[in-house]
């Protein structure tokens, strides 16, 4: 019995599209699974919140994506394009709608309007789906219905809608071969072991030149001419040839292969791919370790240069500081600031240093005063503590000035 790969390809294609649509609706611990929250400059990433100030973590996430992309491209070629890319799904959908509407369009011009309206609805869905990665869907709809979407979101929504509509109505497959840079990038990452489709060279003589493989190709190429940049690894030609050859009692002539047999490929797990895979694993490990060991809150301090150091009549000195507290955890917390002393000095903190309530991901700037007995000698005899109850969350040395 002849087996075709189209059902599996369509299933994977639709599941991945569905995943992209549904991810913004998924919540972990009351927050989005994956979203860039612009107002708080925070990346909500699978249950953890990475603030833009934690640039090293955000950079790790970006690096993981880049190296993962390079690894997948090196091993599996353009399988992403043919099996997973939303652009391919949209093109398939647009072509399906056109094929169903075409007979009607010839007799009822209204069908043409209906097709364009369907394209517009799809454009809205795609554009809204993109915005949902920045504004949670319930908030998006609430703001949209009340005309409070905001300028940036409105412009992004309209511009994306327009681009997707033009893509659906006029561009479709042309995008893959002419606009999308992925095919060009792929040339740099693929090697002779990358997964490709080819006409089996050992059976080229069996080809009956029926042309079925070229007729079904969405990018309009002839796989018999060898590997071409336009090929998106969709496998339609493979299915077409299997169908033709089955009628002759033979197996198909086109197959997936890790590297062409003519170029002596066949080793997807080679030094380059293993190296790239190793980098991805190492980066994931570094990200996991950084997230596990990151502090629940940060404490930063700078001298308040607007106010001079003062010496009181009783001989004590007064220094002025500005501190910045950031609650990086996913929960609201109440903090206290305390000071510890060394070498028998006495010191007290003045200012709003107790019961500092910070919502999750919130920041607070506090101006405070340190009043202390003269601390002879150099160094930092005082340490500022950020406490949550009895837990010491963060510490920072206080560099004092004596008059
Ligand atoms: S050559 Fe085959 S695999 Fe490549 S795009 Fe055309 S139909 Fe798809
Ligand atoms: S479908 Fe198969 S037999 Fe027909 S032209 Fe293509 S490779 Fe040859």
- Confidence grade of residue 401 (pLDDT, cut at 50, 70, 90): confident
- Confidence grade of residue 25 (pLDDT, cut at 50, 70, 90): very high
Whether 253 lines ligand 2, by a CB cut-off of 6 Å, is yes
**pLDDT of 215 above 90:** yes
Is residue 114 a contact partner of residue 102, using CB atoms and an 8 Å limit?
A: no
Please state the atom number of ligand 2 nearest to the C-alpha of residue 212.
1
The mean per-residue pLDDT over the stretch 315-331 comes to 88
- Confidence grade of residue 292 (pLDDT, cut at 50, 70, 90): confident
- Rounded mean pLDDT of the chain? 89
224, 226, 249: which to mutate for ligand 2, most atoms within 8 A of CB?
A: 224
Name which of 45-59, 111-125, 213-227, 248-262 the model is least confident about: 45-59
Please give the helix or strand (H or E) that residue 36 lies within, else none: strand 34-37
Whether 127 lines ligand 1, by a CB cut-off of 6 Å, is no
- Evaluate the CA torsion angle 15, 21, 26, 32 in order and state its sign: positive
pLDDT (tens digit per residue) in 327-342: 988 789 999 999 988 7
**pLDDT of 230 above 90:** no
CB atoms within 10 A of CB 199: 23
Share of the chain above pLDDT 90, in %: 53
The fold adopted by the segment(s) 297-398 is: Immunoglobulin-like (2.60.40)
**pLDDT of 261 above 70:** no
Is residue 134 a contact partner of residue 153, using CB atoms and an 8 Å limit?
A: yes
Distance 221 CA to ligand 2 centre (A): 13
Name which of 100-114, 161-175, 309-323 the model is least confident about: 100-114
Please state the atom number of ligand 1 nearest to the C-alpha of residue 230.
5
**pLDDT of 158 above 70:** yes
* Helix axes 271-293 and 55-76, enclosed angle (nearest 10): 160
Whether 9 lines ligand 1, by a CB cut-off of 6 Å, is no
CB atoms within 10 A of CB 360: 17
CATH fit for domain 192-263, picks 3.30.70, 1.10.238, 1.10.10, 3.30.1380: 3.30.70
Whether 213 lines ligand 2, by a CB cut-off of 6 Å, is yes
Instruction: Give residue 285's pLDDT.
Output: 96
Whether 219 lines ligand 1, by a CB cut-off of 6 Å, is yes
- 79-88, 110-119, 274-283 — most confident range: 274-283
Distance 254 CA to ligand 2 centre (A): 8
Instruction: Give residue 255's pLDDT.
Output: 94
The mean per-residue pLDDT over the stretch 87-114 comes to 83
Distance 83 CA to ligand 1 centre (A): 11
- pTM over 0.75, yes/no: yes
Which protein residue's CA is at the shortest distance from atom 4 of ligand 2?
210
Whether 23 lines ligand 2, by a CB cut-off of 6 Å, is no
- Confidence grade of residue 4 (pLDDT, cut at 50, 70, 90): very high
Is residue 319 a contact partner of residue 369, using CB atoms and an 8 Å limit?
A: yes
**pLDDT of 86 above 70:** yes
- Confidence grade of residue 107 (pLDDT, cut at 50, 70, 90): low
**How many Å apart are CA 272 and CA 258, to the nearest integer?**
14
- Confidence grade of residue 151 (pLDDT, cut at 50, 70, 90): very high
Ranges of each domain in the chain: 6-53+78-187, 192-263, 297-398
Instruction: Give residue 214's pLDDT.
Output: 97
**pLDDT of 386 above 70:** yes
**pLDDT of 159 above 90:** yes
Instruction: Give residue 16's pLDDT.
Output: 94
Whether 199 lines ligand 2, by a CB cut-off of 6 Å, is yes
**How many Å apart are CA 134 and CA 161, to the nearest integer?**
16
- Confidence grade of residue 351 (pLDDT, cut at 50, 70, 90): very high
**pLDDT of 293 above 80:** yes
Instruction: Give residue 106's pLDDT.
Output: 66
**363-372/317-327 β-pairing:** antiparallel
Q: Do domains 192-263 and 297-398 have the same CATH topology?
A: no
**pLDDT of 263 above 80:** no
235, 239, 240: which to mutate for ligand 1, most atoms within 8 A of CB?
A: 235
Ligand with an atom nearest the CA of residue 198: 1
Structure tokens at 58: 């955000």
- Confidence grade of residue 242 (pLDDT, cut at 50, 70, 90): very high
**pLDDT of 278 above 60:** yes
Whether 209 lines ligand 2, by a CB cut-off of 6 Å, is yes
Enumerate helices (H) and strands (E) in the chain, giving the number of each: 12, 16
Stronger pLDDT, 55 or 157, i.e. the higher one:
157
Instruction: Give residue 57's pLDDT.
Output: 87
Share of the chain above pLDDT 70, in %: 95
Which protein residue's CA is at the shortest distance from atom 1 of ligand 2?
241
Whether 365 lines ligand 2, by a CB cut-off of 6 Å, is no
Distance 254 CA to ligand 1 centre (A): 10
Whether 201 lines ligand 2, by a CB cut-off of 6 Å, is no
Whether 236 lines ligand 1, by a CB cut-off of 6 Å, is yes
């Amino acid at each position: 019995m002849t087996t075709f790969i189209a059902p599996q390809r369509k299933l994977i294609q639709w599941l991945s599209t569905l995943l992209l649509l549904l991810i913004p609706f998924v919540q972990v611990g009351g927050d989005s699974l994956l979203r860039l929250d612009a107002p708080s400059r925070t990346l909500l990433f699978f249950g953890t919140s990475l603030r833009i100030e934690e640039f090293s973590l955000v950079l790790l996430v970006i690096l993981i994506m880049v190296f993962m992309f390079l690894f997948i491209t090196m091993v599996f070629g353009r399988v992403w394009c043919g099996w997973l890319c939303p652009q391919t799904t949209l093109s398939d959908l647009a072509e399906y709608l056109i094929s169903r509407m075409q007979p009607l369009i010839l007799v009822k011009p209204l069908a043409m309007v209906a097709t364009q309206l369907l394209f517009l609805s799809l454009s809205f869905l795609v554009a809204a789906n993109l915005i949902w990665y920045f504004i949670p869907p319930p908030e998006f709809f609430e703001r949209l219905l009340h005309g409070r979407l905001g300028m940036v979101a409105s412009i992004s929504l309209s511009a994306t809608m327009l681009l997707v509509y033009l893509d659906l109505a006029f561009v479709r497959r042309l995008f893959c071969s002419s606009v999308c840079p992925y095919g060009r990038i792929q040339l740099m990452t693929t090697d002779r072991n990358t997964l490709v489709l080819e006409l089996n060279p050992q059976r080229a003589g069996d080809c009956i030149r029926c042309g079925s493989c070229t007729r079904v190709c969405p990018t309009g190429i002839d796989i018999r001419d060898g590997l071409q940049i336009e090929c998106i690894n969709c496998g339609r030609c493979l299915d077409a040839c299997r169908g033709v050859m089955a009628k002759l009692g033979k197996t198909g002539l086109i197959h997936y292969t890790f590297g062409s047999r003519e170029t002596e490929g066949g080793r997807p797990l080679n030094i380059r791919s293993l190296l790239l895979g190793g980098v991805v694993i190492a980066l994931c490990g570094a990200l996991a370790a950084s997230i596990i060991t990151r502090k629940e809150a940060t404490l930063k301090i700078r001298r308040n240069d607007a106010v001079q150091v003062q010496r009181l009549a009783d001989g004590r000195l007064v220094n002025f500081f500005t501190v910045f507290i950031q609650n990086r955890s996913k929960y609201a917390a109440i903090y206290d600031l305390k000071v510890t002393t060394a070498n028998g000095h006495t010191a007290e903190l003045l200012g709003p240093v107790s019961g500092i309530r910070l919502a999750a991901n919130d920041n607070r700037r506090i101006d405070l005063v340190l009043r202390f007995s003269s601390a002879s000698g150099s160094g930092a005899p005082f340490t500022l503590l950020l406490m949550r109850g009895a837990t010491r969350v963060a510490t920072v040395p206080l560099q004092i000035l004596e008059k």
